[in-house]
Amino acid sequence: MGRIGIIDPDVVDMSNLQRQVLYNVADIGKSKAETAREKLLAMNPHITIDAFPIPLTSENALDLVAQYDIVADGTDNFQTRYLVNDVCVLTGKVNVYASIFRFEGQVSVFNMTKNGERGVNYRDIFPSPPPPGLVPDCAEGGVLGVLPGIIGSMQASEVIKVLTGIGEPLAGRLFIFDAASFTTRVLKIHKNPKFEPITELIDYDEFCGFIHKDTEGGLKEISATELKKMRTGKR
């Protein structure tokens, strides 16, 4: 592994420090991506690390992801998760997925092609997102401080396995860890026979039910039917 790209538009906040141990108080207010690059290069100056302190969007995702062999998704919102999934499908990249919420963590390997057939991807499990506000993010819902380290190490292990070809990656399986009860489960996941082929990147805020402001600064108007679909999670 000689090159790593880090995409994160956020800056370090005091609330991050209890779970994002790469940072410290002196880093508050600094770019997460650029600070991570600096600290990781201090550990290993013999590799290349690219920092992108920008949001991943439908406009830049294809160009950014095309530069790398594998994607590790550690995002905390559904818009970006669907975007990462779709761009990996379109570019043929493996997506090593990890997520955390409160006491639970999940890890899987998506879009890993075998014998010329597409692998399971995020949309096979979650074809549509939950209604906006139903699942809070880490800042709102909270997360056990040690959980990112545990799940992040598992995610890194899957990345290494995919890149080196050793072991059996979590393709077609979803690993679930509950830190509160210290129990684990591994669920088999299958391709959705109703899966609609991904042909392009879309507006993921709209897909996930978030209303944009129009170009004139007013609120976008929606019909009662559209609002009902957003509230029920139907598309």
pLDDT given for residue 216 in this prediction = 42
The percent of residues above 90 in pLDDT, for the chain, comes to 74
- Determine the average pLDDT of the residues in 76-86: 95
Q: Name the residue with higher pLDDT: 195 or 47.
A: 47
Average pLDDT, the chain: 89
pLDDT given for residue 156 in this prediction = 97
DSSP the chain: --EEEEE---B--GGGTTT-TT--GGGTTSBHHHHHHHHHHHH-TTSEEEEE-S---TTTHHHHHTTSSEEEE--SSHHHHHHHHHHHHHHT-EEEEEEEEBTEEEEEEES--BTTBPPP-HHHH-SSPPPTTSS--HHHH-B-TTHHHHHHHHHHHHHHHHHHT-S---BTEEEEEETTTTEEEEEE----TTPPPP-S---HHHHTTPPPB-TTSSBPP--HHHHHHHHHT--
pLDDT given for residue 220 in this prediction = 47
pLDDT given for residue 195 in this prediction = 84
- Determine the average pLDDT of the residues in 34-44: 97
pLDDT given for residue 65 in this prediction = 97
pLDDT given for residue 227 in this prediction = 54
Per residue in 124-133, pLDDT (tens digit) is 999 988 887 7
- Determine the average pLDDT of the residues in 188-199: 90
- Determine the average pLDDT of the residues in 160-165: 96
Per-residue pLDDT band for 8 (boundaries 50, 70, 90) equals very high
- pTM across the whole model: 0.84
